[in-house]
Structure 1
Amino acid sequence: MKQTTTLWSLLLTLLMAVTMGTAQETVTPRLQAAPAGTSLRAGGTLTGFGYADRSAEPDYVGVGATNIYLSAYILLPDVGANKIEKISFPAVKADKVAYLLVLSADGKKTLYNQKCEIAAGVNEMTLTTPFATEAGKRYLVGFATKAVGSNEGDKFVLPFDGKIEMDDALTVAYGKDPFPTDKSTPETFNLGSAKGAKLGSVLVFVTLQDNSKLQNRGYLVSADGNFMMATKDEKRPTKLSLRNIGMNEITSFDLTYQFGAGEVKTIAQTVTPALAVGQMGEYTFEIPAEAEGMGTVHFAIAKVNGQKNAYADNRVDLPYKVGDFSAMIDRETVILERFTSEKCGNCPGADRYVKADIDKMKAAGLRVSYIMYHSGYFSDFLTMPESEKLYRYFYPDKGSYAPAMSINRTYLPKEGALVQHAAGYNPNEWTTKMKNDKQGVKIERIDQTISDGTLEAVVSGVALKNCFDPEDLYLTVIVTEDNIPARSQSGAGKGYKHQAVPRLFLTAPTGNKLKVEADGKFKVTLRGTLRPTWVGSQCHVVAIVHPSITQPNRANRAVHTAETAPLGFGLANEPVAPAQAPIVTAENGYLSILGRVDAFELYDMSGALVTTNVGTRLLPGTYIIRIFSDLRVYTSKVIVR
């Protein structure tokens, strides 16, 4: 049996989230879950027009309180001069005083209300007086009920299908009154949207007197394609998801696409086998990049089965950047950014998925950077104010969860965000995706000096001609630390350690705007104070070059490049050698180090680690030693005779 979820909000907008078993945890601590106590199907059927999957077993949501009216609606399409005869929906709780409702499209005016009695199970309610619709108008149609009784389960009453979010089936409301009046306030009636809550669509269905305008209808759910850094006329694969919300099978449809304000192009698609009523199909098209410049490409379904689609205006947009990007190079770097908390019991279980991604990408020759922000769910002793300012740009408009992860800040259309659960990334698929990608910026050096606890990092590189937007280029630099012992990590045993934790932002959390010289080169000097409690040998400097992560179009936020250097070392392990460096000698095959030493690592000339112990007798030869002392790192050659 499915779980029900609390819809909690005492604000002016609704905050919603769904409990996903052990897959993820929601951000709002006051959200609760409880099992549904009644058979959800009750032997009935859901008839009429709707957006949701009528065969789905519902999720039920509420505000976590009783004695308050909750309502859910779908936005009826233009059905012409017609009549609404029935409203159908499932219910988990009986309610003797509920209401059938028809509101204006903006939800501000009640056009029809009828008292009714809701039964547990499927309800198919006939309107006492059929409601007459007008041609050219749309209406919110649904029902209102109170969370009856005093048990936890009584608070969960609004039905969602748990499948695909459709904008026209996401309207919900709560308040002291069941519907809006001329005297309504946010306290008496508060209308909002469940978009981004991942509950799917509202399970409300409408029976009309004349269904002729509902025969052939297709709802474009999402588009997944990449038109960034494309050359003119280059074809890019684009996968579209189409839901059949009409009353006939879909055997054909016309897809339209438009680059910016350019010419609208049409592709006729035959659907074999036919797309059944209530089902969703995925179709891939090779779309040519037809306009040079930057903008948004618009997708829509203009016709279904040869008839004009009522949802032709329901566009899905993707960003494009088309031009001459011949200077771009094959992708060399990838960054994984993860969100966690010690209060997230599911987060330690995601470690294996992250490791699989990193291992696979490194094996393919990609340089992988990794950051683990303690934000976006609950705060803990490792949460930084900068991380709190940053995380919101990765998530959907409402809500956040952990464990969540982003690869290269790549937009995920089905998530409506840059993140998904770490388990959602298939290592083989995403390694191939990254290897087939291009990058137009290179970080060539991260030079570092450390003096009296102050780090000076100089990040330099080159932005390749025509491969970036000079008005939308930013640099973020973060110092991270590995192997930090957890204090009370939920879901993990004793000895759990946190990796790649941000300790110091050398730039603003959303990045500093990056100026590129005429020859394409850039060089930025940054400074920050290191704390003596940090273990220098476990620290790294991560530099990220990216477009603005605050821009409204999430699909434009993908990272150009990212590089990681050990604290005190450049990308090529150039040594940092301030005064008072420890003195290293070798006598009779044994090392001797004079000066302050926290730890050291000795490597042979092939780069293999030989020892970290002064008690190891060494064979004659030349070695490289790295000495860690008070957050400084010293590198030198050692010759053993």
Structure 2
Amino acid sequence: MKQTATLWSLLLTLLMTVTIGTAQEPVMSRLQAAPAGTSLRAGETLPGFGYADRYVEEISYLGIGQTGLYLSCYILLPEVGANKIERISFPAAKADKEAYVLVLSEDGKTTLYNQKCAIVKGDNQIALSTPFATEAGKRYLVGFATKAVGKSEKDAFVIPFDGTVEIDDALYAAAGTEPYPTASSTNETFSFLRVKGAGFGSACIFVSLKDESKLQNLGYLTAADGNFIMVTKDEKRPTKISLRNIGMNDITSFELTYQFGTGEVKTLSQTLTTALASSKTGEYTFEIPAEAEGMGTVHFAVAKVNGQKNAFADNRVDLPFKVGDFSAMIDRETVILERFTSEQCGNCPGADRYVKADIDKMKAAGLRVSYIMYHSGFKKDFLTMPESEKLYRYFFSDKGSFAPAMSINRTYLPKEGALVQHAAGYDPNEWTTKMKNDKQGVKIERIDQTISDGTLEAVVSGVALKNCFDPEDLYLTVIVTEDNIPARYQAGAGKGYKHQAVPRLFLTAPTGNKLKVEADGTFSVTLKGALKSTWDGSQCNVVAIVHPSITQPDRASRAVHTAETAPLGFGLANELVAPAEAPVVTAEDGYLRILGRVDAFELYDMSGALVTTTVGTRLLPGTYIIRIFSDLRVYTSKVIVR
């Protein structure tokens, strides 16, 4: 189950009743799960307009561990002109003889209509004794309040959410000693709760209007997934958008608009071969050209549905863009998987198979895969490090953390609003293709190591190509990890379970040290740290990650440039290669001659000593090793001077 933050910090913690299987666990021990059962009679749906899945068979309910309080929930009605609200419908898990149906102002501060009513267990359709007249140009919160709250997980919880797609306009809930706001309300008498990001889905409330013509064709853009970071102008990028049909008619066509920064708004039309039914979500992929050089945000919206103006045309989903000349970037060679776990997470061992499938598939495709498993974010155990505790929060949404959670290359996931999702959510084929089609602008070439008197000195060096990274936003994180650590009390696993890729030592700050790149594109950083004798050095690795700042507000700009792993005590270096595209090296009269694109080179003698970095050096006869830096690639070969 997903974690949610404390929803009412002064009084309450919400408890969610879940009816769908999931391997995610909350971070707070007070959150518990209890079966809710079916709350709608078989085959029935609730009439009217709503954001929730009207065909959902089981409902997720919210409750609080206190009695004597009212709980309420609402949806934000679209602008429906001069109209009348005639009925409010919703499911309930528990009867209440003194509940209320409510209409509040859009800001939730003013009660415009309240009607006492009795609710039953199951579906409720409450007709307003006096239909509420709406004004053109205004929006209203519509919902209900009940005092039938339980005090333990054995009681039914009463505020219904569909447990599927979260829509901003259907994530309102409140609690207090009074059922609705008044002029004298305080935080104790009436206070809105934070529901967004908790994973509850949308509130199951439906509104029937006298004139429902404006509610026939409505589309709600819930997410956009595309990468416009470091792309060239006019390069087309596949962008997947998720569209929710919250209207009453099937969607057969829609118009998607996109805008780079404050540039021209462009429109793409989509005709659906299979109609999108009411309260269902569809995913559609568009090829979007990068239309403006520079940095900013590209805005997506759905302007029309079935040829009619969409009432939610102003509902935007934004993605960052950085467009320029990045043609010298190389195809992605490396990927890093970062996972969050705890010995108290009984579902975490079950996620191992998903991680293994991802790693195996990516390695088979020729990618070098690094792996780190942080014991943080859910609950602490004997392997939790303070540095991991400082780091994990930047992977998750603002609403909290859960386990097991995993990130691939710190890639932003719009649907999650975070860099992580459950490990099972990554399809190995899809993500291997995604990574293989990606580019990288930085390459780690060496992780040289020396160990003396229990102190590790690691020198991480590599190259970065001009214009393929932001010199003011480039960081290096280096972590020593250990494999095959016997578990002590791992929930959900039998005896003999072992932890893999556990951080033991951070050689940098947990969020990384700022990395300086020289004028020729090279970098080299020397780091030191104390090793413990209790660690098994043969099971340890040094993982180096080059990345933008993970603390920056824009989560979509946190993706990793590159990551490499070297066994503890052994260096990482390129093998001797001489592909056809490599520069050709010869020696004439003791001087080097290099034909081809060369950014820089290093010449070493056979003892490993650096001899020269310039072609102007007269060389003595002998055998040398040359390392040539060219377009972010490093070519290593032997040179014989006669």
| Bin for the TM-score computed over the shorter chain | 0.7 to 0.9
**2:55 corresponding residue in structure 1:** 55
| Displacement of 1:369 | 0.6
2:218 matched to 1:217?
yes
- Rounded to whole Å, the distance in 2 between the matches of 1:486 and 1:280 is 42
SS at 1:232's partner residue?
coil
Superposed CA deviations along residues 334-392 of structure 1, whole A, max 9, x for unmatched, are 10101110001111111122112112212222111110000111110111111111111
Cα distance change on mapping 1:39 and 1:302 into 2, 3 Å = closer
**2:241 corresponding residue in structure 1:** 240
2:117 matched to 1:116?
yes
- Rounded to whole Å, the distance in 2 between the matches of 1:37 and 1:301 is 36
Which letter does structure 1 place at the counterpart of 2:325?
D
Which letter does structure 2 place at the counterpart of 1:131?
F
Contact 2:13 2:65 (C-alpha < 8 Å) held by counterparts: no
**1:619 corresponding residue in structure 2:** none
- Rounded to whole Å, the distance in 2 between the matches of 1:150 and 1:192 is 18
**1:567 corresponding residue in structure 2:** 568
- Rounded to whole Å, the distance in 1 between the matches of 2:197 and 2:270 is 30
- Rounded to whole Å, the distance in 2 between the matches of 1:14 and 1:252 is 42
- Rounded to whole Å, the distance in 2 between the matches of 1:9 and 1:470 is 40
2:201 matched to 1:203?
no
SS at 1:35's partner residue?
coil
| Displacement of 1:150 | 5.8
Which letter does structure 2 place at the counterpart of 1:123?
N
- Rounded to whole Å, the distance in 2 between the matches of 1:162 and 1:437 is 33
SS at 2:545's partner residue?
strand
Contact 2:345 2:491 (C-alpha < 8 Å) held by counterparts: yes
Which letter does structure 2 place at the counterpart of 1:267?
L
**1:257 corresponding residue in structure 2:** 258
- Rounded to whole Å, the distance in 2 between the matches of 1:356 and 1:4 is 23
**1:11 corresponding residue in structure 2:** 9
Superposed CA deviations along residues 469-502 of structure 1, whole A, max 9, x for unmatched, are 1221111111111111111111111121111111
Cα distance change on mapping 1:151 and 1:462 into 2, 3 Å = closer
Contact 1:66 1:154 (C-alpha < 8 Å) held by counterparts: no
Cα distance change on mapping 1:120 and 1:44 into 2, 3 Å = farther
Cα distance change on mapping 1:7 and 1:338 into 2, 3 Å = closer
- Rounded to whole Å, the distance in 2 between the matches of 1:340 and 1:233 is 42
2:26 matched to 1:26?
yes
- Rounded to whole Å, the distance in 2 between the matches of 1:219 and 1:191 is 24
Cα distance change on mapping 1:149 and 1:404 into 2, 3 Å = closer
- Rounded to whole Å, the distance in 1 between the matches of 2:552 and 2:511 is 11
- Rounded to whole Å, the distance in 2 between the matches of 1:116 and 1:40 is 19
**1:582 corresponding residue in structure 2:** none
- Stretch of structure 1 that moved more, 3-12 or 553-562: 3-12
Cα distance change on mapping 1:5 and 1:202 into 2, 3 Å = farther
Contact 1:5 1:34 (C-alpha < 8 Å) held by counterparts: no
Superposed CA deviations along residues 227-271 of structure 1, whole A, max 9, x for unmatched, are 122111111111111112122222222211001111111112222
Contact 1:7 1:63 (C-alpha < 8 Å) held by counterparts: no
Correspondence list, 1:157-556, <5 A? 157-556=158-557
Cα distance change on mapping 1:563 and 1:151 into 2, 3 Å = closer
Which letter does structure 2 place at the counterpart of 1:308?
K
SS at 2:169's partner residue?
helix
Which letter does structure 1 place at the counterpart of 2:53?
D
Q: Which runs of 5+ in 2 are unaligned?
A: 576-642
CA RMSD of aligned residues (A): 2.2
| Displacement of 1:97 | 0.8
Correspondence list, 1:28-177, <5 A? 28-36=28-36, 39-41=39-41, 44-56=44-56, 57-148=58-149, 152-177=153-178
Contact 2:13 2:64 (C-alpha < 8 Å) held by counterparts: no
| Displacement of 1:511 | 1.2
Contact 2:93 2:156 (C-alpha < 8 Å) held by counterparts: no
Superposed CA deviations along residues 413-463 of structure 1, whole A, max 9, x for unmatched, are 222221111122222222222112111000111122222222222211111
| Displacement of 1:503 | 0.9
SS at 1:472's partner residue?
coil
| Displacement of 1:37 | 5.3
SS at 2:435's partner residue?
helix
- Rounded to whole Å, the distance in 2 between the matches of 1:38 and 1:308 is 37
- Rounded to whole Å, the distance in 2 between the matches of 1:391 and 1:450 is 29
| Displacement of 1:16 | 7.0
Paired-residue identity, %: 80
Cα distance change on mapping 1:232 and 1:132 into 2, 3 Å = same
| Displacement of 1:573 | 9.8
Which letter does structure 2 place at the counterpart of 1:188?
T
**2:597 corresponding residue in structure 1:** none
| Displacement of 1:69 | 1.0
Which letter does structure 1 place at the counterpart of 2:569?
G
Cα distance change on mapping 1:168 and 1:16 into 2, 3 Å = farther
| Displacement of 1:43 | 6.8
Contact 2:100 2:144 (C-alpha < 8 Å) held by counterparts: yes
Contact 1:5 1:156 (C-alpha < 8 Å) held by counterparts: no
Count of residues paired in the alignment: 572
Cα distance change on mapping 1:177 and 1:211 into 2, 3 Å = same
- Rounded to whole Å, the distance in 2 between the matches of 1:193 and 1:61 is 12
